[in-house]
Chain A
Amino acid sequence: MENKIFEPKIVAFVCNWCTYAGADLTGTSRIKYAPNVKIVRFPCTGRIDFMLLLKAFGEGADGIIVSGCHPNDCHYTSGNFHARRRWISFRSLLDFLGIDTGRITFSWVSAAEGAKWAALVNDTVSRIKELGPYTDYEKVARYYEEEVNHE
């Protein structure tokens, strides 16, 4: 049987003004980084609903990146500050529920940090590769497949 190498699926929720622009800079600077990441752009980290992270896990993401402007750099003044509080609370709730927070990378990446973005993605990918596929949440989301496979 063919021995498949595990390529993790990573979803990145990023803000438009800093991290998305930063990731753009990574590209224009011709810095290569792991292609496992799918970027979803938001106006602001303050707009990233916590449920979206669960939706990503439910749809089969093995890892998640959430990233936006550094503190004090928010385009809307305080969106990232609000987001930070939300992440602090949500992360501890997820951990209490037994959902693997080690698979979620939170970071600040500015529009000037193209290299940081590349490093962040590479680090996340190699960490998730070590952890292996995340199936706990996805299995619960695809509960009906067990039945289909019987048919």
Chain B
Amino acid sequence: MIESYLLQSSSLTKLFNKLIETRHIYAPVKKGMVTSFNRVESLEEVAKDYIQTTISAKSILFLRNEILFHYKQENGDVKIMEPDLQRIPELVIWGCRPCDAKSFKSLHSVFNWDYKDIIYSSREARSAIISFSCNQADEYCFCTSAGSGPGHTEGSDILLTKLKSGDYLAEILTEKGQLIRDMIPAIFETPSSESKEDNLARIPIVFDTAGLKQKLEQAWNSELWITQSMRCLGCGACAFVCPSCSCFDIQDEKHGKEGVRSRCWDSCGFSLFTRHTSGHNPRETQAERWRQRIMHKFSYLPDQQGFTGCTGCGRCSRACPADMNIREHLAALINDSTSPENRVA
């Protein structure tokens, strides 16, 4: 149902101003070396030149701390106060990259797996995603190897691709996108003949995801888990900047007779993540935790949900204090010959 239009460069402000009349807009804002999605009031605040935000767009729908409910002890009973979901505003995620937009599919399936998470779903239902294609990339990007791409449409409601003329090719991809178009139809004009592909960043394919999955199934005992993770410090930077990582912890905070229960981001890279009360840890070493991270994204999720938990945004590599480069490590795993199953007897 893709409908293509031309959006003149001057119309971008009109679109933004129309949306902000009724919706909260979250867009990349640059502060020092860090670009992150913040609530903005005008298009001027939005970062102009960024390859990728430091924290992904997931932080808008899957909050790093989400209060699930409040509780209060009263007259020998506990009163639970659920959050008022009607208060979640209509929002627009503006300036999302196609890789981030695609990752919402993975988050959606996790939060709707065997239980529909009402809080996440309510936020998702009220948000529209306006993505911008990438016309530049850096050496950390590998979306084309991870089933996405610089002009990938999956997950976005509207995808805007900047053309050489400075105008935009607007692709309306969903009903939510159509609703936005109908709010201000005049600016959506007949498209020019300029091709979208010519205006996208060139990102070489470094490996093939299907091949990777096949390889991983044989790689449980590979020595690469140890050698690659030797320099891993065991922090959660990779997971917290990742657009697809969805692990969380549940925490209670109590003040006297009342308190809150919240959901907070967690990471499989922490040793605490799997530590049992007894002190036993089924993933004792960082190598096992690193294997879990890769296996979960590229083997388990494809089995369970039919797609990978990685969209090739490269954030984990950019954020890693020890320069763990996921693209390089995945390529090495594909070419791995150290796994006992692969050794010629």
Contact = CB atoms under 8 A, between A and B. Distances in A.
Interface of B: 67, 70, 81, 83-84, 87, 253, 255-256, 260
A6 interface: no
B260 A144 contact: yes
Interface in A124-148: 141-142, 144, 147-148
B255 A148 contact: no
A59 interface: yes
A142 B255 contact: yes
A85 to B, nearest CB: 31
Contacts of B83: 147
A151 B84 CA distance: 7
A150 interface: yes
A147 B88 CA distance: 12
A147 B260 CA distance: 11
B84 A144 contact: no
A150 B89 CA distance: 14
B67 A147 contact: yes
Contacts of A147: 67, 70, 83
A141 to B, nearest CB: 7
A150 B84 contact: yes
Nearest to A151: B84
Contacts of B260: 144
17 contacts: A59-B255, A59-B256, A141-B255, A142-B255, A144-B67, A144-B70, A144-B253, A144-B260, A147-B67, A147-B70, A147-B83, A148-B70, A148-B81, A150-B84, A150-B87, A151-B81, A151-B84
A110 to B, nearest CB: 34
Nearest to A141: B255
B178 to A, nearest CB: 33
Nearest to A58: B255
A74 B84 CA distance: 55
B81 to A, nearest CB: 6
A79 to B, nearest CB: 31
A59 B254 CA distance: 10
Most buried by B among A59, A142, A147: A147
Most buried by A among B67, B81, B83, B255: B255
B343 to A, nearest CB: 53
Given A59-B255, A141-B255, A150-B84, 14 more contacts: A59-B256, A142-B255, A144-B67, A144-B70, A144-B253, A144-B260, A147-B67, A147-B70, A147-B83, A148-B70, A148-B81, A150-B87, A151-B81, A151-B84
Contacts of B84: 150-151
B337 to A, nearest CB: 51
A2 to B, nearest CB: 24
